[in-house]
Structure 1
Amino acid sequence: MILTAIVICEVAFWLAIIAGLSARYLFRRPGLGTALLIVAPVIDVILLALVTFDLLGGGTASWQHGLAAIYIGISVAYGKRMVAWADARFKHRFADGPPPEKLTGLRYTLKCWRDVLTTAAAVTVAAVILGAIIALVDDPRRTEALSGYFSILGIIFAIDLVWAVSYTFWPKAPATLPPHYADTHAPQNRH
């Protein structure tokens, strides 16, 4: 049941974002768009309530409950940025906004380090949720599956940290144009 709830919540999260951005840019209804975008975090609260009620109602924790905690942590920490990412693309595609910027070099490296902080927030939120559920249920036999997720959270953080370190030493180079592109697309001098 929880796995189905996670899938439904993930789909509903993106549908709320798409509906909100469509209302904002396609139908020129910014107020409605904002209202629909506010629904996205409410979906996380619903998922958290479902997980909690399932376990307090006598359910035994499984990998799906741990996955729900990770999903909520990522959604809370990265949610605003995911919406901004989608918003920039919608604005470019449907409202003559500027194209989304592609970061390289130092700017990309700095973004990677900001991601480390955001991922730290995501794993902290997930760990707090896991710890709270374990404490609320107060039955180690029923919450045993959740204890293993603390190491998974550590692995998620470590992967993001290694990613940032790698781009610190080997920065992302800007895309280069093929040599023939410059010749065929350069402005012609017509004197």
Structure 2
Amino acid sequence: MIVTLVIACEAGFWLLLAGGLALRYLARMPRAGAALLLCEPVLELVLLIATVIDLKNGAEPDWKHGLAAVYIGFSVGLGRHTIRWADAQVAYRFFGGPPPPRTPAGGTARAVHEWKTAGRWSLAAGVALALLQGAIWYVGSDAGVGSLRAWQHKMLVVIGVNLAIAVSHTLFPKRIEEARARGPLR
């Protein structure tokens, strides 16, 4: 049931995003579109409540409960950025809006971009870590929480990889001319 709900929440996210953008651009109702997009956190709340109820009813904590926590974390950390990205793409490609900002090719601007990206991914993984730890405390450490701990380790790897990328762009910045010669980045 939890996996089905995670899939339904992901599908719901994209449906709400498409509906919100359609209201904003096609129906020319930007406030209604924004209101629809603000309903997106309800999906995460439903998933969180269903996961807690499943655990409360005696379900053995496993990878599915960890997946729910990770999905919620990634929605919190990356959802707003994804909505902004999609809005900029739709405005530009279909409605004559300005071109979306490009990823900086190199230099300090690229390092700043990578630190912001690392911050979003770290927030996502941090929220997932907190939810996973809450689940571990909720069911008790003697209840076979190995799969939840495995998800925690994966979230630490996500944080580590993103921080390593940001540090590498800070310590070894690409020269802008050299990066531009390689071609455009998106």
- Aligning the two structures, in what range does the TM-score lie when normalised by the shorter sequence? 0.7 to 0.9
* C-alpha distance in structure 2 between counterparts of 1:12 and 1:25, whole Å: 20
* C-alpha distance in structure 1 between counterparts of 2:157 and 2:181, whole Å: 31
Instruction: Return the match for 2:165 from 160, 163, 166.
Output: 163
* C-alpha distance in structure 2 between counterparts of 1:64 and 1:175, whole Å: 45
* C-alpha distance in structure 2 between counterparts of 1:110 and 1:58, whole Å: 46
TM-score normalized by the length of structure 2: 0.87
Conservation of the 8 A alpha-carbon contact between 2:114 and 2:166: yes
Q: Shift of the alpha carbon at 1:67?
A: 1.5
TM-score normalized by the length of structure 1: 0.85
Could you report, residue by residue, the CA deviation over 1:91-123 in whole angstroms, capped at 9, with x for unpaired residues? 112321111121221322211111222222212
Mark the runs of 5 or more structure 2 residues left unpaired by the alignment: none
Q: Shift of the alpha carbon at 1:165?
A: 2.5
Q: Shift of the alpha carbon at 1:75?
A: 0.8
Conservation of the 8 A alpha-carbon contact between 2:73 and 2:125: yes
The alpha-carbon distance between structure 1 residues 175 and 67, as it changes in their structure 2 partners (threshold 3 A), is farther
What's 2:83 paired with?
83
Conservation of the 8 A alpha-carbon contact between 2:51 and 2:68: yes
Mark the runs of 5 or more structure 1 residues left unpaired by the alignment: 178-191
What's 2:92 paired with?
92
Q: Shift of the alpha carbon at 1:139?
A: 5.5
The alpha-carbon distance between structure 1 residues 139 and 162, as it changes in their structure 2 partners (threshold 3 A), is closer
Amino acid at match of 1:144: G
The higher radius of gyration belongs to: 1
* C-alpha distance in structure 1 between counterparts of 2:150 and 2:87, whole Å: 36
What's 1:174 paired with?
180
What's 2:3 paired with?
3
Of the structure 1 ranges 36-45 and 134-143, higher mean CA displacement relative to structure 2 is found in 134-143
Q: Shift of the alpha carbon at 1:176?
A: 5.9
Conservation of the 8 A alpha-carbon contact between 1:25 and 1:94: no
The 4+ residue runs of structure 1 with deviation greater than 3 A are: none
Matched, 1:16 2:16: yes
